[in-house]
Amino acid sequence: MDLPVNPPVAPMLAKAVPAVPVQPAGGEPEWSYEPKWDGFRALIFRDGDEVFIGSRGGKDLARYFPEIVAAAREELPTKVVLDGEIGVPSAIDGTQRLDWDSLAQRIHPAASRVTMLAATTPAIFIGFDALALGTVAVKDEPLRIRRETLVEAIGPGGRDRRFHVSRVTTDAALAEGWFAEFEGAGLDGVVAKRLAGRYVENKREMVKIKHKRTADCVVIGYRVHKSGTGLGSMLLGLYYDGDLRMVGGAGAFTDAKRIELQEMFEPMRLDPERPAAGEPTRWRSEKSGEWIPIRPELVAEVAYDQMENGRFRHTVKFLRWRPDREPESCGYEQLEVPLTYDLRDVLEGQD
């Protein structure tokens, strides 16, 4: 490639903060706000027919997203470098939103499966920064200039296109509204960038505000740690219409805690001789692997960010035991349900 900015490039990162930063009183705004897209971070490099999709770690993702490569050749200028997120839109509960499960399945070693998934679960790219256009690098320009370059490179977008521009605002109150509303479209919070800031590789120059919540769940089983000693993760469930459904797992315990938890759960095993495995059932999914079911008697409070398809989107964090809660009282109704917001409205609406 012969671009003003060539791969690999380490993307600029964000640090977590508890609230949307406010603009200074009086004068010009300092911050630009945008939705936080929960997909695969990717930098798109196009030099003629050559397209490189750089992951956060610098690997080329192009082979996994042939539809993005084709769209880059059709929709983008001949020479361009963009930063953004790759996501897979899907109709979930009648609303278009980003589908993390479908996106995760796109990383597959078999070329035939990659081709099939590109047709059945095609991805889109949501651009939120630009590093170069034509023969000009804008990496060291302030965000205002990079944003203008991004809009020029991608154009107006549209439902029939794969490349889109993330909406932005300088209105902190509007950004706080996005934080609540856009979660229903599969978004993960809000990102704020300094309007005067430059693009700094591998540095946490942006700030992010993510959803954090707690839920009381029933412990329905556990996996043994990969070392063979202690608990690797505990499996969690919630009741729905009298049925106890697996919703995810909690891990990241210390060595001492892993052993303590395994010793606690061992006497509660439903089948002392063999772990659960085999075809998916209401107790397990294809992703849950081999695990050991226990009597559903313990209630744990956990921290989570989002739900998707009735499950926690990411691994949750164990907070504390809740001996005051009956397992049967731990249902989906306790969860904060985000407003329903269609992904297409997020992509197409600009202030």
**Residue 113 token pair:** 């499966």
Number of helices (H) and strands (E) in the chain: give both, helices first: 7, 20
296 closest CA partner among 311, 283, 309, 279: 283
Cα 37 to Cα 85: distance, rounded to the nearest angstrom: 7
Reduced to 3 states (helix: H, G, I; strand: E, B; else coil), residue 56 is coil
Q: Which amino acid is at 135?
A: T
Q: Assign 190 to helix, strand or coil.
A: strand
Alpha helices by DSSP H, 33-157 = 66-75, 100-104, 111-120, 143-154
Copy the structure tokens of residue 185: 């479209």
Q: What is the gyration radius of the CA atoms in the chain, in angstroms?
A: 22
User: Is 36 labeled as catalytic in the residue annotation?
Assistant: yes
The residue to which tokens 């956990």 are assigned? 302
Q: What share of the chain is helix, strand, coil (3-state, %, to 5)?
A: 25, 35, 40
Q: Considering the candidates 15, 36, 79, 139, report the single residue annotated as catalytic.
A: 36
CA dihedral 128, 134, 140, 142 (to 10 degrees): -50
CA 39 to chain centre: 5
Q: Cβ distance 169 to 175 under 8 Å?
A: yes
CB contact at 8 A, 327 and 297: yes
Nearest to residue 122, comparing CAs of 66, 83, 164? 66
Catalytic residues, which ones?
Answer: 36
